Amino acid sequence: MIDLRELKERKSEILANIKARNMKINLDEIIELQERRSALLQQTEALRASRNENAAKMKGRLDNDARALLIQEGKNLKDQIAEIEAELRAVEEEYLRLGRTIPNYAHPDAPLGTDESDYTIVRHVGTPPTFSFTPKDHVVLGEELDLIDFDTATRVSGPKFYYLKREAVVLQMALERYALDITMKKGFTPFITPDIAREEILMGIGFNPRGEESNIYTIEGMDACLVGTAEITLGGYYAGQVLDKKDLPIKMSGLSHCFRREAGAAGQYSKGLYRVHQFSKLELFIYCLPEESEQYHNEILAIEEEIFSGLGIAYRVVDTCTGDLGAPAYRKFDIEAWMPGRGEGGEYGEVTSTSNCTDYQARSLSIRYKDDDGKNQYVHMLNGTAVALSRAMVAVLENFQNEDGSITIPPALVPYTGFDTIKPRN
């Protein structure tokens, strides 16, 4: 969350940012709760001081009547304190709950807008392939080559689940190891993270684990959820800790399964593997000094580009508009890969994103470092997709298809697959 001490001082800026993000938040209500919380804290302190005075008087020489009066006064003060503290807890809980809904400040260069039509295209890299035949989408290719089984998965698990089979299994593992090797060479420590996280961690990262709009699977009977990304588990790794400045930056890459309830809202492309309820992903995460976060944001983007350019897949980089940043992000870049089977004649589809969340998540999770003066300061936290394996699979199958129905394996992946072509069964 943002620094709530700045609500009044930066009110107009915060209101403008809320509007730019196309969000509806009653800032006056949060400020009223802040003022009520402050008043209750003062009342509590005053009552505690009176109770201490009462206790001090009890130590003196007193007749029975005076002592009885002091005892009664002490009981009254205790009851008043308990009542005020209960109200304070309720007010503070609501104040922090609503305070967390206020989005992070946006980068001044982030494009204003409400949806994908307002994104800024930063650059195009590579040339989309041309075919002497009509290219198929990955669903048709997967079925014809017996690589993907959606129908059985629907019967077994429900819609938007899938089985990978045969060479597709090896191809996914190859993509995973290919991306992992690149990130390790860049100094990222690899992790396999839990698929479950406590709700308090999700809230600290900026995910709403409950409610109708939630994209998260909650676990019945537990204060925990299935993670939608390793950003959650990597971001929670140092929750409540004070890091040593000399250890920064801390670079992590986390492999996890990802579970998401939503599998395609109105107007969103969701065919086949593009938007599913479960997939695997290699996530990048960095903890760093505040003055270095923009530099590391660009570094994560460069790694994502290296992964997709190394595969020989054409893509474009887009600067995400304010209305589509998500509450924690200060700025976000997406990579959209060319997908020949999408739409009429091919379209770009998102395959990675990277966000600089500044101190927004660190403030909620209380992750700090000691500066040169020995004072605790909040770190900056950044995340980015190295490879979302299901969407990378879409891009590879569609871009490298051949007229005879086979798939050529990108040269960068051949050392990991052990084969250079997926051939038709018959």
Residue 47's CATH number: 1.10.287.40
Half-sphere exposure of 104 (CA within 13 A, CB side): 29
Q: Which of 99, 132, 165 is the last residue before a domain boundary?
A: 99
Distance CA(357)–CA(380), nearest Å, equals 7
Give the Cβ contact number of residue 183 at 10 Å: 24
Q: Are residues 19 and 64 in the same domain?
A: yes
Q: Do the domain assignments include residue 89?
A: yes
Whether residue 108 is contained in a domain is answered as no
Is the domain of 85 the same as that of 165? Answer: no
Half-sphere exposure of 382 (CA within 13 A, CB side): 31
Q: Are 355 and 383 in contact (CB under 8 A)?
A: yes
211 in a domain, yes or no? yes
* pLDDT tens-digit profile, the chain (426 residues): 999 999 999 999 999 999 999 999 999 999 999 999 999 999 999 998 988 888 888 777 778 888 788 888 889 989 999 999 999 999 999 999 999 999 999 999 999 998 888 999 999 999 999 999 999 999 999 999 999 999 999 999 999 999 999 999 999 999 999 999 999 999 999 999 999 999 999 999 998 776 666 789 999 889 999 999 999 999 999 999 999 999 999 999 999 999 998 755 545 578 899 999 999 999 999 999 999 999 999 999 999 999 999 999 999 999 999 999 999 999 999 999 999 999 889 999 999 999 999 999 999 999 999 999 999 999 999 999 999 999 999 999 999 999 999 999 999 999 999 999 999 987
What is the count of structural domains for the chain?
Answer: 2
- Domain of residue 64: give its range: 4-99
Shared domain for 280 and 157, answered yes or no, is yes
Residues 176 and 72 in one domain: no
In a domain, 281, yes or no: yes
Same domain, 91 and 186: no
Model-wide pTM > 0.85: yes
| 87 plus 160 within the same structural domain | no
Which of 51, 72, 99 is the C-terminal boundary of a domain?
99
| Domain end marker among 99, 131, 155 | 99
Does residue 104 lie within any of the structural domains?
A: no
Neighbours of 57 (CB within 10 A): 15
d(CA 209, CA 110): 27
Matching residue, tokens 């091919």: 346
Find the largest Cα–Cα distance for the chain. 107
CATH code for position 165: 3.30.930.10
Q: How many CA atoms lie within 13 A of 297 on its CB side?
A: 23
Residue 299 near residue 251 (C-beta atoms within 8 A): no
Nearest to 405 by CA among 132, 128, 136, 167: 136
Cβ-based neighbours of 293, under 8 Å, separated by 6 or more:
356, 358, 380, 382
Residues 235 and 383 in one domain: yes
Does a structural domain hold residue 92? yes
- Burial letters for 138-149: b for 16+ Cβ neighbours within 10 Å, e otherwise? bbbbbeebebbb
Say yes or no: 219 and 290 in one domain: yes
Domain-embedded: residue 162:
yes
Q: Would you state the pLDDT for residue 267? A: 53
Three-point CA angle 282, 286, 245, nearest 5°: 150
Same domain (yes/no): 183, 64: no
Both 173 and 30 in one domain: the answer is no
Asked if the structure places residue 109 within a domain, the reply is no
Whether 351 and 230 map to the same domain: the answer is: yes
Do 141 and 37 lie in a common domain?
Answer: no
- Tokens 């980068």 sit on residue: 107
